[in-house]
Chains A and B, each alone.
Chain A
Amino acid sequence: MPKAFKTLFQEHYSIDSYGAYILPKELILQALQILLEKDNYTFLVDMTAVDYLNQKNHPERFAIVYLLRDHNFQNLITLKTYIDSSLATQSITSLFKSANWAEREIWDQYGIHFKNHPNLKRILNHKEFVGHPLRKDYPITQGQLCHKSDDLMDEMTPRLKTKGYSSQEELMFLNLGPAHPASHGTIRTFVALDGENITCAVSEIGYLHRGFEKSCENHTYNQIIPYTDRLNYCSAIMNNIGFAHAVEGILGVDLPERAKFIRVIIGELSRIIDHLVCLAAILVDMGALTNYWYLYNPREKVYDLLSKLTGARLTNSYMRIGGMSHDLYDGFEDDLKACLKEIEQGVGEALKLIEHNRIFHDRTQNVGIITKEDAINRGLSGPNLRASGVPYDLRVTAPYYHYETFEFDIALGSVGDVYDRMMVRFEEIRQSTRIIHQAMQRLPGGAICVENHAISLPPKKEVYGNIEGLMNQFKLIYEGVKVPPMEYYRAIEGANGELGFFIISDGSGTPYKVKVRPPCFYAMAAYPRLIEGSMIADAVLTLGSLNIIAGELDR
């Protein structure tokens, strides 16, 4: 527990009904410093702003929420501060490097200013954008044309100065992306080159900003499921699970056993195919095309299984609040076994080619290193953090769906370079396979949705057969699942790391606010610092090894 924080600030904070500590904004920086230095709350999970325009009982219109975990990743603390009409507060970038982009996002989306921020400018929306779209009074469909891209020199020039370059004459400037084969989607990195060496790098994101969070505010909870598919589209079902899991947390429902096990099985399968596509892509970037076929073909096999199960190959929308859309089909187990066998074979073949391959080792070892402390401070999570040697896995630190009863190991790296990040993923594929085998053996029968027809749809027989069933169906479809008012954060271990949803519900069928904690976002923020000093070819591999998925990054 945060002892030092509690003793020092007990006269200043109040605790709201959802368990968040409310502090005056002048004390936030101090409080976070105590939490970080005295109480070891070293991991800034996420920060976001809230616009309470349409909600009463709040002293000010805007508030900022900080979520932190302690060094064991066991305890989560929520701090909240209201922002007065000056719309400004202190930046916390001096304590948490991860806050840099998070604060820029809040400025971009809500227009709250952070004093002493190194470079407070828009991050998701374009330069010519006027207004702050996540404010409640910004019309959702009001798009604004962008005519010209940012030249990024406002970030590059000060960065060059810190490296001791006064003139730019001896350097060459190059854009890696947003339309570049190695940018894996649409990410732009602007580099200053001295020969082939990167002296300074600046990244720009937001090219795939699709307004996920704004769209959530005018859809019912179950209508949001398809949007979550398109966050990390390489493991769509994992996002479905994450979102449903958070909403179920607010509802306070416990899933039937069968539903939990199906979520484990399909979730781990998604993790595997996510890692497969990450590894396949990075190996292509390295010039190892053969591995791509070895790793991509099993993924193709899983697509067949998923389309049989859900009707879609990629964007499956399989989960629902309180369960899932339908049960496993007859013969699922055989198909799954065939998939796992092919995955094992593909991974084996790929590893055979690279495991003792000198070129592979030289290209990946000691490249793009991020240390333990730096990785935590920058908010990395998942395989990227574990590659640096931090055993943080939500399936172990905060188990859900009986993960504590499964036998599996956390794959850990020791150096935190490209090699470790890749090998951690290879090992996680094996461990996920282990979990799936155990879960299939233990898979119980029974219902796949909670037996509460205010949450999950009644069987069709009842809808057509009696008035109550019809009413339930009608209300659920038209009004959505009614979720009691709450401010709530819950996360799962996504394929890429901690995938969390901070949801503010207001009792209606539509969330008041949804904020995703996308694991990629923080990894991408760290990326420019990782590649400075290395060569262009290494930058490509470093990006691939972080597995940046634009849909999740830009939302």
Chain B
Amino acid sequence: MAVGAEAIFGESLITTKLDSAISWARESSMWPYIFGTACCAIEFMSVASSKYDISRFGAEVVRFSPRQADLLIIAGTISYKQAPILKKIYDQMSEPKWVISAGACACSGGFYDNYTTMQGIDSIIPVDVYVAGCPPRPEAFLDALLEIQKIQATQSLLEDRAKRVFKGVLDA
């Protein structure tokens, strides 16, 4: 016996905008790439494990190839030495893609106000959601994921995302 949506709608037709249908599908099937460099990455391990369980939000298929991912989560400090690598990975991801900057270091350099650390990764790549905390609690990671889902819902397929203007310090 059918339960859930199919029980209610049966064989009826549903009309909607293509944008809405695609956003609805995308929302719960994010494929994150974890650019974990430091302490925040250890907290991400908690996000992925049983207690917080990121798969409840459909984002448990963690990819380590930028070609297969559509959500870049930067979890940890980005040093000047790391910056060109982060940029390369962002550039290798295909559109549509979203970026979460998790933790104080990635957002602003955190308390590493010194010669080693980028004072915020938004000077290299565009960021969609910032997460505060040093490191952020797992709940904050999940909250950021929900924020990304909200952003997705407002974006249209017809918009050519690749044409967005962003010029970072490493762009020639």
Residue B115 contacts which of A143, A277, A293 (CB distance < 8 angstroms)?
A: A143
Task: Say yes or no: is A550 at the interface (Cβ < 8 Å to chain B).
Answer: yes
Q: Give the distance in Å from the alpha carbon of A234 to the alpha carbon of B89 in the complex.
A: 26
Q: Give the distance in Å from the alpha carbon of A144 to the alpha carbon of B49 in the complex.
A: 37
Q: Give the distance in Å from the alpha carbon of A466 to the alpha carbon of B83 in the complex.
A: 52
Which of B7-15, B23-31, B73-81, B147-155 makes up part of the contact surface?
B73-81
Q: Give the distance in Å from the alpha carbon of A227 to the alpha carbon of B156 in the complex.
A: 44
Q: In whole Å, how far is A122's beta carbon from the nearest beta carbon of chain B?
A: 10
Residue B111 contacts which of A181, A226, A293, A314 (CB distance < 8 angstroms)?
A: A226
Question: Given A143-B115, A314-B39, A315-B134, is A207 in contact with B50 using a C-beta cutoff of 8 Å?
Answer: no
Q: Give the distance in Å from the alpha carbon of A186 to the alpha carbon of B83 in the complex.
A: 12
Q: Is the CB of A209 within 8 A of B81?
A: yes
Q: Give the distance in Å from the alpha carbon of A179 to the alpha carbon of B84 in the complex.
A: 12
Q: Is the CB of B80 within 8 A of A314?
A: no
Residue A143 contacts which of B38, B64, B82, B116 (CB distance < 8 angstroms)?
A: B116
Q: In whole Å, how far is B78's beta carbon from the nearest beta carbon of chain A?
A: 9
Q: Give the distance in Å from the alpha carbon of A208 to the alpha carbon of B134 in the complex.
A: 16
- Contact-size category for B: 35 or more
Q: Is the CB of A210 within 8 A of B112?
A: yes
- CB contacts under 8 Å to A, within B100-119, are 105, 111-119
Q: Is the CB of A313 within 8 A of B37?
A: no
Q: Is the CB of A314 within 8 A of B42?
A: yes
Question: Given A185-B36, A314-B135, is A140 in contact with B115 using a C-beta cutoff of 8 Å?
Answer: yes
Q: Which residues of A are found within 8 Å of B35, using beta-carbon distances?
A: 179
Q: Give the distance in Å from the alpha carbon of A315 to the alpha carbon of B76 in the complex.
A: 13
Task: Say yes or no: is B157 at the interface (Cβ < 8 Å to chain A).
Answer: no
Q: Give the distance in Å from the alpha carbon of A533 to the alpha carbon of B85 in the complex.
A: 28
Residue A145 contacts which of B77, B80, B89, B105 (CB distance < 8 angstroms)?
A: B80
Q: Is the CB of A277 within 8 A of B45?
A: yes
Q: Give the distance in Å from the alpha carbon of A356 to the alpha carbon of B84 in the complex.
A: 45
Scoring A185, A208, A233 by chain B CB atoms within 10 A of each residue's CB, the highest score goes to: A208
Task: Say yes or no: is A296 at the interface (Cβ < 8 Å to chain B).
Answer: yes
Which A-chain residue is minimally distant from B114 (CB atoms)?
A211
Residue B84 contacts which of A140, A147, A233, A550 (CB distance < 8 angstroms)?
A: A147
- Please report whether the interface of chain A is mostly helix, strand, loop or mixed according to DSSP: loop
Q: Is the CB of B42 within 8 A of A233?
A: yes
Q: In whole Å, how far is A343's beta carbon from the nearest beta carbon of chain B?
A: 15
Task: Say yes or no: is A149 at the interface (Cβ < 8 Å to chain B).
Answer: yes
Q: Is the CB of A125 within 8 A of B81?
A: yes
Residue A207 contacts which of B82, B105, B137, B169 (CB distance < 8 angstroms)?
A: B82
Q: Is the CB of B49 within 8 A of A293?
A: yes
Which A-chain residue is minimally distant from B138 (CB atoms)?
A313
Interface string of A197-229 (1 = CB under 8 A from B): 000000000111111001100000000001101
Q: Is the CB of B115 within 8 A of A230?
A: no
Residue B82 contacts which of A208, A214, A230 (CB distance < 8 angstroms)?
A: A208
Which A-chain residue is minimally distant from B169 (CB atoms)?
A145
Q: Which residues of A are found within 8 Å of B117, using beta-carbon distances?
A: 143, 210-211
Question: Given A210-B77, A314-B43, is A144 in contact with B115 using a C-beta cutoff of 8 Å?
Answer: yes
Task: Say yes or no: is A303 at the interface (Cβ < 8 Å to chain B).
Answer: yes
Task: Say yes or no: is A461 at the interface (Cβ < 8 Å to chain B).
Answer: no
Q: Is the CB of A300 within 8 A of B51?
A: yes
Q: Is the CB of A146 within 8 A of B83?
A: yes
Q: Which residues of B are found within 8 Å of A148, using beta-carbon distances?
A: 84
Q: Give the distance in Å from the alpha carbon of A293 to the alpha carbon of B51 in the complex.
A: 10
Question: Given A133-B115, A186-B37, A300-B46, is A181 in contact with B83 using a C-beta cutoff of 8 Å?
Answer: no
Q: Give the distance in Å from the alpha carbon of A215 to the alpha carbon of B135 in the complex.
A: 19
Q: Give the distance in Å from the alpha carbon of A139 to the alpha carbon of B135 in the complex.
A: 27
Task: Say yes or no: is A142 at the interface (Cβ < 8 Å to chain B).
Answer: yes
Q: In whole Å, how far is B123's beta carbon from the nearest beta carbon of chain A?
A: 10
Task: Say yes or no: is B145 at the interface (Cβ < 8 Å to chain A).
Answer: no
Which A-chain residue is minimally distant from B43 (CB atoms)?
A314
Question: Given A145-B170, A303-B46, A313-B137, is A126 in contact with B80 using a C-beta cutoff of 8 Å?
Answer: yes
Q: Give the distance in Å from the alpha carbon of A148 to the alpha carbon of B84 in the complex.
A: 6
Q: Which residues of A are found within 8 Å of B38, using beta-carbon distances?
A: 185, 208, 210, 230, 233, 550-551
Q: Is the CB of A149 within 8 A of B85?
A: yes
Which B-chain residue is minimally distant from A131 (CB atoms)?
B115
Task: Say yes or no: is A74 at the interface (Cβ < 8 Å to chain B).
Answer: no
Q: In whole Å, how far is A196's beta carbon from the nearest beta carbon of chain B?
A: 19
Question: Given A277-B42, A277-B45, A300-B51, is A315 in contact with B81 using a C-beta cutoff of 8 Å?
Answer: no
Question: Given A146-B81, A313-B43, is A185 in contact with B37 using a C-beta cutoff of 8 Å?
Answer: yes
Q: Which residues of A are found within 8 Å of B113, using beta-carbon distances?
A: 140-141
Task: Say yes or no: is B132 at the interface (Cβ < 8 Å to chain A).
Answer: no
Q: Is the CB of B64 within 8 A of A180?
A: yes
Q: In whole Å, how far is B56's beta carbon from the nearest beta carbon of chain A?
A: 16
Q: Give the distance in Å from the alpha carbon of A303 to the alpha carbon of B139 in the complex.
A: 14
Scoring A126, A143, A178, A315 by chain B CB atoms within 10 A of each residue's CB, the highest score goes to: A143
Q: Is the CB of A211 within 8 A of B84?
A: no
Task: Say yes or no: is A138 at the interface (Cβ < 8 Å to chain B).
Answer: yes
Q: Would you mind naming 18 contact pairs between A and B with Cβ atoms under 8 Å apart?
A: A126-B81, A147-B170, A149-B81, A149-B85, A179-B89, A206-B81, A208-B38, A214-B114, A215-B111, A215-B114, A277-B45, A296-B50, A297-B50, A297-B51, A300-B46, A313-B46, A313-B137, A551-B38
Beyond A208-B38, A230-B39, A293-B49: 10 further Cβ-contacts under 8 Å?
A126-B80, A141-B113, A142-B115, A145-B80, A179-B89, A211-B112, A214-B114, A215-B112, A296-B50, A313-B43
10 shortest A-B CB distances, which residue pairs?
A211-B114, A233-B39, A126-B81, A181-B64, A211-B116, A146-B80, A296-B49, A186-B37, A210-B112, A207-B82
